[in-house]
């Protein structure tokens, strides 16, 4: 059975679809059976494609992107093995929605998996600053080795 991983940001058009595309390629490269998707805490972009700047940033770095935004569904708590929040606001919102402590433990910050992150565990929202998209990609990529170590550990 696949390990189920979802990334969550605000509108599901910038950070979380970028993390989804990067993690999907990592899973393929690692030969791991990981089902990856993403969602947003808000509903205003449901049905939209990823932000064009996200798509371009991914393309320039060699990642494929085919994304349609959706809102996080409480059923994801049951369906997912790991729910990865992009910043502390998403982490708090998701943990408030979680039905119990065991489910809350499934929710982690992406940068928790980057040992070089230090105390700054938020992935900034690039929506209002075009220059931030490549920085966000770099932060996401830096967390992938630790994230996939965690996935391999959980699959054993």
The residues carrying an active-site annotation are 9, 15, 125
Q: What is the 3-state secondary structure (H, E, C) of 72-112?
A: CCCCHHHHCCEEEECCHHHHHHHHHHCCCHHHHCCEEEHHH
Q: Give how far Cα 31 sits from Cα of 34, 68, 148, 152, 155, Å.
A: 9, 25, 11, 11, 13
Contact of 87 with 140, CB cutoff 8 Å: no
Cα–Cα distance measured from residue 63 to residue 75, given in angstroms and rounded to the nearest whole number: 28
């Amino acid at each position: 059975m696949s390990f189920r991983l979802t990334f969550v940001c605000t509108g599901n058009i910038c950070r979380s679809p970028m993390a989804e595309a990067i993690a999907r390629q990592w899973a393929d490269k690692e030969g791991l059976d990981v089902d990856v998707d993403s969602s947003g805490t808000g509903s205003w972009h449901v049905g939209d494609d990823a932000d064009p700047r996200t798509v371009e940033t991914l393309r320039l770095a060699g990642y494929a992107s085919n994304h349609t935004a959706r809102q996080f569904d409480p059923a994801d708590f049951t369906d997912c093995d790991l729910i990865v929040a992009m910043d502390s606001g998403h982490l708090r919102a998701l943990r408030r929605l979680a039905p119990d402590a065991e489910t809350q433990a499934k929710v982690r910050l992406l940068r928790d998996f980057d040992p070089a992150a230090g105390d700054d565990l938020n992935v900034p929202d690039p929506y209002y600053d075009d220059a931030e998209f490549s920085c966000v990609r770099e932060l996401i990529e830096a967390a992938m080795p630790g994230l996939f170590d965690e996935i391999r550990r959980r699959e054993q």
